[in-house]
């Protein structure tokens, strides 16, 4: 390779390096600050496109995110207005709206900003929640409390060129020791309620059974009374029928009654009777017509 070719390659390399140090692009998700000897020059470049700067060490660029960013705070413990302890886990959303001011007030960049947010959010959450009772944090009132915390944090972060869009509590729990105590108390309360419900159920069960037994006894008594009445009426009707039937033939009725008497006397088995053959009881034995024989 000739010296001329080598020189051409060196010139092209230097020219390419100078061009890369001269031109820069702005991404839609970023905003760019131009620094000259460390000092910020002009306003931030926010429109996407290709831009030019003085190359090499004279001017350099600083890229700053312009999107909505998330911040997760470490959980910490606070004391509510009613002296109840509470473990809080919070998060925030923010965006850098004044890149120049941000670069001047937060020279450490995003790492320093997160440290500042941690301190501000922790402080404002403590300041707001320490003035309200615990139940306010656990009910619908929390939304208003979060809006107040967001407003307070935003006032301070705007001084840094950062807008705090939202601060929210992801989780608010009692400390472990308190949680166990509350759990035990809730368990005791539920056991007491269960015992009371069981006692009320047993009482209701006994009442229903007693009512049912009483109704059964009344129904049985009414049925027995009606049965006796019906049997009495049936017996009376039968007697009347018998009386009408037997009144038509008194001799047959006497014969029938005597046959029934024989049936009961001789059908019982194992019984012994000592009677005279001419006893009236045997009148149908002596005479089928039932006539009594004259005594001799």
pLDDT at 284 (0 to 100): 65
Task: Write down the residue that tokens 């229903």 correspond to.
Answer: 208
What is the C-alpha separation between 112 and 75, in angstroms, rounded?
19
Contact (CB, 8 A) for 122 and 76: yes
Whether pTM exceeds 0.75? no
CA distance 263 to 274: 17
Higher pLDDT, 291 or 238: 238
Check pLDDT > 60 for residue 255: yes
Q: What is the pLDDT of residue 269?
A: 60
pLDDT tops 90 at residue 153: yes
Alpha helices in the chain (DSSP H): 3-22, 99-105, 110-129, 134-137, 142-157, 176-247, 250-267, 283-286
**6-30 tens-digit pLDDT:** 777 877 877 777 777 788 889 999 9
The answer to whether the beta carbons of residues 96 and 102 sit under 8 Å apart is yes
Strand, coil or helix: 81: coil
Q: What does DSSP say about strands 85-96 and 162-173: parallel, antiparallel, or unpaired?
A: antiparallel
pLDDT in tens, 272-291: 666 666 666 666 666 666 55
pLDDT class of 143 with cuts at 50, 70, 90: confident
Q: Tokens for 168?
A: 């929210």
């Amino acid at each position: 390779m000739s010296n001329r070719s080598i020189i051409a390659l060196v010139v092209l390399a230097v020219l390419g390096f100078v061009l890369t140090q001269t031109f820069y692009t702005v991404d839609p998700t970023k905003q760019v600050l131009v620094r000259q000897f460390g000092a910020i020059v002009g306003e931030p470049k926010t429109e996407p496109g290709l831009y030019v700067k003085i190359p090499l060490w004279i001017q350099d660029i600083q890229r700053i995110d312009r999107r909505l960013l998330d911040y997760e705070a470490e959980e910490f413990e606070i004391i509510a207005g009613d002296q109840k302890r509470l473990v809080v886990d919070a998060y925030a959303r923010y965006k850098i709206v004044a890149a120049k001011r941000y670069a001047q007030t937060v020279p450490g960049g995003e790492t320093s900003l997160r440290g500042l947010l941690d301190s501000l959010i922790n402080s404002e959450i403590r300041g707001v929640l320490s003035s309200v009772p615990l139940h306010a944090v656990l009910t619908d009132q929390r939304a208003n409390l979060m809006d107040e915390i967001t407003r307070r944090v935003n006032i301070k972060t705007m001084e840094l060129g950062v807008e705090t869009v939202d601060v929210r509590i992801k989780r608010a729990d009692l400390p472990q020791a308190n949680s166990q105590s509350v759990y035990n108390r809730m368990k005791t309360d539920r056991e007491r309620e269960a015992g009371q419900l069981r006692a009320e159920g047993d009482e209701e069960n006994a009442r229903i059974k007693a009512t049912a037994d009483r109704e059964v006894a009344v129904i049985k008594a009414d049925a027995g009374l009606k049965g006796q009445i019906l049997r009495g009426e049936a017996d009376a009707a039968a007697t009347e029928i018998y009386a009408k039937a037997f009144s038509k033939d008194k001799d047959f009725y006497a014969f029938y009654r005597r046959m029934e008497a024989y049936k009961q006397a001789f059908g019982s088995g194992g019984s012994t009777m000592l009677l005279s053959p001419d006893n009236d009881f045997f009148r149908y034995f002596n005479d089928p017509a039932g006539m009594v024989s004259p005594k001799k």
